[in-house]
Structure 1
Amino acid sequence: MTTENEIEHIARRMLARTLPKPEWTHRAHFAAALWLLRFPEHLPEDGMPAAIRAYNEATGVANTPRSGFHATITEASLRGAAACLADWPGAPLGEVLDALLASELGTSRWPLTYWSEGRLMSPEARRHWVEPDILPLPWPERTAVLAGAGRAG
């Protein structure tokens, strides 16, 4: 299990662009997402996309139509993380993270249950939300933190 402090540390280092790229694992992505969903006031004004793009650039990952920030995967992942948080109200984030990673979201290929690879990896899906073409997501609500709308003043 990951502690609350470890989860916060991952999220804050990602936001500060000091988290080493090898530490930006699938688990770390969801740890940061859960913390930022719970504490959206720490996001920049323009939300999660800006935070991820800045982190990518700081770690040498170009944000292009073929690499870097991916709007559809980010939104879908945030929807799943938000649903998991809602299912575990008030639980320590380490427990929520473990539950999330024990679910279908636990593998990095989980989006391919809902999108064909061609559609998901398209430049369009990297730029903005693209609806699934295989199955609808079980978490239909958009997340406020994607656009910064979850920011608390």
Structure 2
Amino acid sequence: MDDAQLLEAFEACTLPSEEWTHRAHVRVAYLYARRFPYPEALLRMRAGIKAYNKATNTPEELERGYHETITVAFMRLVCHALQEEGPFESSDEFCNTCARMLKKGVLLDYYSKERLISLEAKHNFVEPDLQSLPEV
């Protein structure tokens, strides 16, 4: 699926749930970061994930559903990588070049597991406790 198709399916909430993978999350984050300033990209990502989860009846549990800290942290990492290494021809090229983003555990370089997987972090952005996220 190319970038336009992915973004259209995500925003229309028609992307099959088996295709809403971690890589697809990173690709959409990149597409927003490439087109919009960080604050707007974050707002679009946040709203899009929440709408998609609602449309697909994704349960809101501690380790499922929308997670504010994970969303903000990944958006900051994606935006920073784009500023430092981009732009790229496509979101796939971004993922291939910045493969670190595809490791779900990359946030554990910044957060202890206890801090990241907490109710507070799920509902509100919390700053990392191991090292600072890059500025964007």
Q: TM-score range with shorter-chain normalisation?
A: 0.7 to 0.9
Partner of 1:11: 7
Which of 43, 48, 68 is residue 65 of structure 2 equivalent to? Answer: 68
Whether the aligned pair in 1 keeps the contact of 2:112 and 2:129 (CA below 8 Å) is yes
| Whole-angstrom CA distance in 1 between matches of 2:61 and 2:46 | 13
Partner of 1:98: 96
Whether the aligned pair in 1 keeps the contact of 2:32 and 2:44 (CA below 8 Å) is no
Whether the aligned pair in 2 keeps the contact of 1:53 and 1:63 (CA below 8 Å) is no
- Relative distance call for 1:40 and 1:63 in structure 2 (3 A) is farther
Give 5+ residue unaligned stretches, structure 2.
none
Higher helix share: 2
Which of 20, 35, 39 is residue 39 of structure 1 equivalent to? Answer: 35
Identity across the alignment (%)? 33
Deviation at 1:113, TM superposition (A): 1.5
Partner of 1:147: none
Pairs aligned (count): 132
| TM-score, scaled to structure 1 | 0.76
Q: Structure 2 matches for 1:1-150, cutoff 5 A?
A: 6-40=2-36, 47-64=44-61, 66-93=63-90, 94-101=92-99, 103=100, 105-137=101-133, 139-141=134-136
Whether the aligned pair in 2 keeps the contact of 1:8 and 1:35 (CA below 8 Å) is no
Segments of 4+ moved more than 4 angstroms: none
Whether the aligned pair in 2 keeps the contact of 1:65 and 1:127 (CA below 8 Å) is no
Deviation at 1:66, TM superposition (A): 4.9
Give 5+ residue unaligned stretches, structure 1.
142-153
Tell me the secondary structure at the aligned position of residue 13 of structure 2: coil
Whether the aligned pair in 1 keeps the contact of 2:26 and 2:102 (CA below 8 Å) is no
